[in-house]
Amino acid sequence: MIRTQVSLTEAEYRAAKREAAQLGISLAELLRRSLRTLIPSDESKPWMRYAGMVETGDPRSSTPIDEVVYGKRR
């Protein structure tokens, strides 16, 4: 990863920290996710901008997918 610095107003910072806390993620992750909604990670695959945006809150939510793809439980 590349480290960068961003300047925010105090109100933007507080709102972003509050949103990150509600989602249970860091401020940096909130900003990365926000950028991904605007800039797809792979320009040849614009649908990738939606990858990782849906969360269920269930840490085992990918288990059924693994069963379908790999044919076994993990």
pLDDT tens-digit profile of 28-71?
Answer: 999 999 988 888 666 676 666 566 656 666 666 666 666 666 76
Work out the burial of residue 25: count CB atoms within 10 Å of its CB; fewer than 13 is exposed, 13-18 middle, 19 or more buried.
middle
| CB contact set of 41 (below 8 Å; sequence gap of 6+) | 48, 49, 51
Report pTM: 0.54
Q: Residue 24 and residue 12: Cα distance in Å, rounded? A: 18
Residue 38, SS3 per DSSP? helix
* Residue 39: per-residue pLDDT: 80
17 vs 40: CA distance, rounded Å? 24
